[in-house]
Amino acid sequence: MSILNEDIFTNYKVETITVSRSVSVPTRLDPLAELMHDHVEVDYKARYARSTVAFMDFSKGDRRWIDHLIEELTKIGDVYREDKIIMLGWSTAKPRNGKQQTWQKFVDELYADKTLTRQDYSEAQLKHLPVLIRELSKGKRLAGCHELGLREVTSRGML
């Protein structure tokens, strides 16, 4: 009796499927509509101002887009119950006192401290914004929305 040793992977073909993700830059019209339509990446340049905390320098249009997004996020829980539940949930961002805060308080403080007074955003503050967008994609108003990306640009010519 003869037994043939065959390699079971000899005729095995691997089919790869490449999924390309289209990414757009903000067009500065309507942040929530843009997030519903496509992934949005906002470029920034890190700036260290006499501290170890990096501040984010945006182009004028991108800064305006971020400001509009934060302003709209302060009101997003007013219409739908599902979004209100998310906004009243605990955020990953912690204020200076180290205690937990809700997402609503997080965006309200960003709006009051940074948007209205035109102060610089820090990386530590805005790194939580994509997490909030991901959470709100499970709600009602932004159900199924795409992701927000904050990308650091290292070359000088970009901004």
State residue 115 phi and psi, 5-degree precision: -75, -50
Structure confidence at residue 159 (pLDDT): 47
Rounded to an integer, what distance in angstroms lies between the CA atom of residue 69 and that of residue 67?
5
Structure confidence at residue 99 (pLDDT): 84
Name the token pair of 113.
């401290």
Rounded to an integer, what distance in angstroms lies between the CA atom of residue 142 and that of residue 35?
8
Q: Average of pLDDT values for 140-151?
A: 92
- In the predicted model, is pLDDT for residue 136 greater than 50? yes
State residue 142 phi and psi, 5-degree precision: -110, 30
Q: Please, which pLDDT band fits residue 11 given cuts at 50, 70 and 90? A: low
Structure confidence at residue 22 (pLDDT): 58
List the single range of 25-29, 94-98, 123-127, 144-148 with lowest mean pLDDT: 25-29
- In the predicted model, is pLDDT for residue 3 greater than 80? no
